[in-house]
Structure 1
Amino acid sequence: MDNNYLSISDILVTNEKVPCKFLHDLPKMGFLDPSAAEDDLKAGSNVEIPLWLSESLYSRRPPLVSVELPKIYKDAYREILNADACTVDMHKLGQYFYEFGCYISKHDIKGEVGSTLINTFRQRFRMLLSASVSRDSLIALQPLSASERQRASAASKTEQALLDWLHSGDCVLTTANMVANHRKRKRAEMEMV
């Protein structure tokens, strides 16, 4: 996923917490673990930290943490999403499900997170489409994730702009000369045969 430093939604996505296991002792970092009684963070500690911090600690050589998959991308939720993603309230499950999944997918050894994201979006596309044309948009938008809501809103605005343009009648659509001439030539060729 392409980082966008100034994007508010990207900041919110990277602020989501991920479970990490610390691979080395970190002096004076005990405050990261709310259950730690010491100032130092011991190797083997499991702590949930923001994604931006985990990425920074993971990218060091040697890595200081191993990033684990959050529960919404583990097998149990994956099975539910693969069975029928339309029944899941993405707003409650994870507002930034797709964006967060793109970041997390590089930590998925099996590579199943990426395929789950694609499959989930394919299943939910019709629901997203109906939400974009729904007159009762509040109910239609409720189970959608933040990115799905943005796409439904953009689609709704585009549809309204198209309807406004079609009803304005400023510009009458006509057949281009090139197309009309092509049809005449085709007709003449068919008559010769």
Structure 2
Amino acid sequence: MGDYYDIDDILAEEDFVPVQFHKAVNGVKIDESSERGFVEQDSKAELPFWLARGLHLQQAISIKVPACFNRNTRLEIEADAGSVDLRSRCSYFYEFGCKVAPFCDKSIGLLVSYTFKARYKEVLYKAHTKAFAAASKIMNFLTKEETNCEILSP
């Protein structure tokens, strides 16, 4: 767990994850358009990670791989990590990946590590070889963690 007062830690846990319920749950209304106040067993939904983690620890749900770490994203990162717009997929890609990996797919940790190394090297290269105007275009693709990194910040 991160620092209780760390706003970035709180925001990283706000991302939604796909889940599947192992148990029927009464008194819960996930879909506002539904009249029912319960969730049936084997139902699928998306919940914020902070809630899904607690339910997973109680063995009420299983957490599936979030879209920002799916196969298509992995292939794009492997092809050219520096040109993938991670910010639009997940503002806290690295921190969220480290938090969600133990609950659904441990290979997410390797993806996060590989992505950071590849993007770090590429961003440093571009920062030293491109004009400042081009650097602002690069900044649009960076995650919150990357823009907060002192070395990468202009």
User: Which TM-score bucket, shorter chain as reference?
Assistant: 0.7 to 0.9
Between stretches 13-22 and 121-130, larger displacement belongs to 121-130
Contact conserved, 1:128 with 1:148, CA < 8 A, in 2? no
Q: Which amino acid aligns with 1:128?
A: V
Contact conserved, 2:146 with 2:152, CA < 8 A, in 1? no
Equivalent in 96, 101, 107 of residue 105 of structure 1: 101
* 1:36, distance to aligned residue in structure 2 (A): 3.7
> RMSD in angstroms over aligned alpha carbons?
2.1
Query: What CA distance in whole angstroms lies between the structure 1 residues aligned with 2:56 and 2:68?
Result: 21
* 1:55, distance to aligned residue in structure 2 (A): 0.7
Query: What CA distance in whole angstroms lies between the structure 1 residues aligned with 2:99 and 2:32?
Result: 25
User: Radius of gyration: which is bigger?
Assistant: 1
2:79 maps to which residue? 83
Where does the alignment leave 5 or more consecutive residues of structure 1 unmatched? 160-193
1:138 maps to which residue? 136
Please state if 1:6 is matched with 2:24: no
Contact conserved, 1:21 with 1:47, CA < 8 A, in 2? yes
2:112 maps to which residue? 117
1:15 maps to which residue? 14
Name the structure with the higher strand share.
2
Query: What CA distance in whole angstroms lies between the structure 1 residues aligned with 2:138 and 2:53?
Result: 35
1:188 maps to which residue? none
Name the structure with the higher helix share.
1
* 1:156, distance to aligned residue in structure 2 (A): 6.2
Between stretches 75-84 and 34-43, larger displacement belongs to 34-43
* 1:76, distance to aligned residue in structure 2 (A): 1.9
TM-score (norm 1): 0.70
Indicate the SS of the match to 2:20. strand
Contact conserved, 1:18 with 1:68, CA < 8 A, in 2? yes
Query: What CA distance in whole angstroms lies between the structure 1 residues aligned with 2:148 and 2:30?
Result: 34
Identity of aligned residues (%): 25
TM-score (norm 2): 0.87
Query: What CA distance in whole angstroms lies between the structure 1 residues aligned with 2:43 and 2:85?
Result: 32
* 1:95, distance to aligned residue in structure 2 (A): 1.1
